[in-house]
Amino acid sequence: METEVSATALLLIPVITAFVCYLLKNEKLIGYVSFAGSLVLAGVSVPVVFAASSSPVQLMGGALFMDSLSTYIMAIVIVLGFASSAYSIGYLEHELKVGLTSAIWMRRYYMLLHLFIFTMLLVTVVNNLAVLWIAVEATTIVSAVLIGSGFRKRDLAIEAAWKYIILCTVGITFALLGTFITYYASIAVMGTEGSLNWTDLRAIARQLNPSTMKLAFIFILVGYGTKAGLAPVHNWLPDAHSQAPTPISALLSGILLNTAFYGIMRFVSIVEPSTGTAFTGNLLILFGLLSIGLASVFILVQDNYKRLLAYSSIEHMGIISLGVGIGGPIGMYGALLHILNHALSKPLMFFASGKIQAHYGSTKIEKVGGVLTSMPLLGTFIFIGALSLAAMPPFNIFISEFSVLKAGADKGLWTVIGLFLAFAVIVFYGLLSGFGRMLFEKGIEKDVVSSGFSSCRTTRIPNIIGNSVMFFMAAAIILLGLHVPSFIDGTIRNCIEALGVR
Amino acid sequence: MKNWIQAFAVVDFISVGILLTAIAMSAFRRLEACVRTYTLNSWLLSSLIAIVAFMIGETHLYVAAALTLITKGILLPLFLRRIVRQMKVARDAEPYIQNALSLTISGILVAVVYASLREGIFVSGFSKYVLQISIAVILIGLFTMITRRKAITQVIGLLFMENGLFLAGFSLTLGMPIIIELGVLFDMLMGVIILGIFAVQIKKVFTSSNLDKLTVLKG
C-alpha cells in the first residue's frame, strides 16, 4: 500500500512541478522551484526504488509494473533530471541575459523539462507494451518542443527539431506495427483476449509463434532503434544533441536513448525464448557494430565539439547494443553498467561544454583553446569526462566496455571483438585529440562576439549549484571506475535475472 | 444487411478505396487536394471499422470507429487546412520525381507487397486483402515523405503511414483495447500539432516552406 502511494506520487510530482513552473511569473524563483521539485522527486523515489529493485511490484491491477530493470532506469532518469534542473538555473539565467530566450519561453522550458521527465518515468513503470509505445512517442513530442524551444532566436534549432520529430515518429511507427504483431501472436496463444502486458507475455514467451515474433522483433528493433540512435537510422541524433539547450542535450544523450533501448531489452526477453538467442543476438550485434564503426569515422573528422559528443553517444549506444547482443550474464552486466556509466560521463561533458560555449561563443573545436589554464575547474571536469568516454582505465566506462569484451571473448566471437577494438582505438584517438586541443592548446584571441558573451557571467549561486553537480558527477565517474558499489552490483544482477538471461 | 455486405464484398471495396486514395495522394500536387484525400482516406478507414463491427457484433469497435472519425476524419483535416492556408502555399514545389513516375512507383510498391504477402503469414478474419493493402499504404506514405519537398506534404505522408498502420493493426487483431487506441490517437494528434507549428516556423525562419533549405546541419 505504501509503495502504491509513493509510486503514484512519483508520477504526479513531475506533473505538478511542471504546472507550478508554468504558472510562476517570477523569473528568478522559477529555476529554484523546478530544482526543489526534482529534489522532492528524488526523495520520494528512494523507498520505491529500494522496494522494487529487490522484488517486483505490480500496482493498479497490473497496469504499473516495476522490477529491478525498471527501477534501475528510473533511478538514472531521476538523478539526471535532478542534475539537469540544477544546471538549468544558471544556464537559463545566462541565456536570458544574452537575449537567446525570453521569459515566456523560460516558463515553457521548465514546464516541458518536467513533463519530459514524467514521460520518461512513465516509460519505465508501465507494464503494457502498447502503453510503453505511447510513452516513448510522448517523450519524442515533448523533447522536440524542447529542442526547438526559443526557436525564434535560433534558426538551426528548428531544423534539428524538425528532423528529430519526423525521423523518430516515422521510425517509431514501425515499432507500433511490431507491437500489433506481438499482440497478434499473443492472441494465437491466449485466445481472443490476448495481452500486451510484459508480465503475461513473459510467462507465455515459449509458446509464441517464432516466425511471427521474428517479424515483430525486426519492426521493434527498427522503431526503437531509431529512437535509441542506432546506425544507420541515427541521422537525427547529432543535429538534435548539438542544437538542443545544454541541459536537454544531457538528458537526451544520457537517458532518453536508454529509455528507447529499454523497450528493445523488454522485447528481447519475450522474443528470445521462442526464436532462440542467436536471432536477436546477431541483429543487435550487427547494429551495434555498425553504430560503433560509423560513429568512429565521424568522431575522427568532427570539428564541432557538441557534435563530437553526439557521435560519441551513438558509439556508446552501439556498445550497449553489442553487450545485449553478445548476451550471457557478463555481456548483459556490461551493457547495463554501461548505461549507468554513459549516463554519468556524457551529461558531465555536455554540462561542461555548455559552459565553454557560453564562454567562447562557438562550438568549433578550433575556436576554443587553453581551457585548462583559463578555467581550471571546468578543464578538469572535461579532462575526466573525455578520458572516461574514451574508455581509459581506471575510469568507469573502461570497466563496462571490458565486461562486454570479456563476454565476447568467452563466446569466441573474435571477429566482433576485433572490429570493436579497432573502432574503439579510432574513437580514443578522435575524442582525445579533439578535447586535448581544446584543453591544452594555447589560448586564442577572442573575437568581438565571444567577448560579448563572456562579459555577462551568471550570478554566484546558480554557478555554485551547477559546478557542484558537475563535481559530484566527476567524482562518481572516478569512484565507479575503482569499485562498483554493492547496491548497484546487486540491482544489475537482479535485472539480469528478471530478463531471464542465462 | 449482413448478407448484402458479404455479397457485394463491401469490406474489400472500402479497403481498395483506402489504397486508391493513398495512390492518388502520391500524385497530387495541390496541398488542399492532398488534405482532402487524407480526409477521404480517414473516413473510409472509419467506415471500414464500423462495418466490421456490425458484421461481427463487437460494440467496442464502434467506439474505435467514432474515435477515428473524430480525430483523423475531422480534427486533423481541419487543422491541416488551417496550416495550409496560413502558409499561403497552394502547390507543392517541383517534386524530385514526376507525377507519372511516382504513380508508377506506387503501383510497383503495391505489386511487390501483394506478391510478397501472397503466401499469407497472417490469416485475417474479415478479408484476406486488407493486410496487403495496409502495408502498401504504409509504403506509399513513406515514399511520399521521401520525394516531396514541402513540410506539409511530409506530414501528410506521415499521416497516411499511420492510417495504413491502423489498418494493419486492425486486420491483425481487430483493434487494440480502446484505452490504448485513445493513447495512440492522442500522441498522434499532439505530434501533428507540433509538426504544424514547426512547419509554420520553418516558413518564417527560412522564408520558404521547402525543406531543401534544411541542410545546414550535417556531418
Domain boundaries, chain A: 2-498
CB contact under 8 A, A180 and B172: yes
Q: For residue B146, which of B135, B157, B161 has the smallest C-alpha distance?
A: B157
- Chain A residues with CB-CB distance to B165 below 8 A: 173, 176-177, 180
Dihedral class, residue A265 (left if φ above 0, else alpha if ψ from -120 to 50, else beta) = alpha
What does each of the 219 residues of chain B score in pLDDT, given as a tens digit?
777 777 677 888 898 999 999 999 888 888 888 999 999 999 999 999 998 888 888 888 899 899 999 999 999 999 999 988 888 776 766 667 777 888 888 888 888 888 877 665 555 566 667 888 888 999 999 988 888 878 888 899 999 999 999 998 888 887 778 888 888 999 999 999 999 888 888 888 777 767 766 776 776
CA distance B61 to B65: 6
Most distant CA pair in chain A: distance in Å? 72
CB contact under 8 A, B217 and A194: no
- Chain A residues with CB-CB distance to B149 below 8 A: none
The domains of chain B are located at: 2-88+97-213
Measured CA angle at A359 (ends A355, A361), to 5 deg: 105
A124 to chain B nearest CA, in Å? 17
Place of cell 522551484: A33
Place of cell 538551426: A156
- Chain A residues with CB-CB distance to B206 below 8 A: 155
Q: For residue A349, which of A388, A395, A400 has the smallest C-alpha distance?
A: A388
Nearest CB partner across the interface for B168, out of A158, A180, A196 = A180
C-alpha cell at A401: 566496455
Q: For residue B169, which of A112, A462, A182, A2 has the smallest C-alpha distance?
A: A182
Q: Cis (ω within 30 of 0) for the bond into A232? A: yes
Q: What is the ipTM of this complex?
A: 0.91
Most distant CA pair in chain B: distance in Å? 61
Q: Does B195 touch chain A (CB under 8 A)?
A: yes
Report the chain A residue with the minimal C-alpha distance to residue B141. Answer: A170
Can you give the pLDDT at residue A6? 79
- Chain A residues with CB-CB distance to B194 below 8 A: 141, 144-145, 165
CA distance A334 to A338: 6
Q: Average pLDDT for consecutive 10-residue bins of chain A (502 residues)?
A: 77 93 87 92 88 80 85 94 93 84 87 95 92 94 87 75 91 92 87 83 89 91 93 89 91 93 93 89 94 94 91 95 92 94 94 89 85 88 93 90 93 93 94 90 58 52 88 94 90 89 79
pTM above 0.90, yes or no: yes
Report the chain B residue with the minimal C-alpha distance to residue A192. Answer: B173
Measured CA angle at A214 (ends A209, A219), to 5 deg: 130
Beta bridge partners of A364: A304
Q: Does B117 touch chain A (CB under 8 A)?
A: no
Burial (CB count within 10 angstroms: exposed 0-12, middle 13-18, buried 19+), residue A502: exposed
Q: Best of A122, A143, A162 to disrupt the B interface by mutation (most B CBs within 10 Å)?
A: A162
CB contact under 8 A, A180 and B158: no
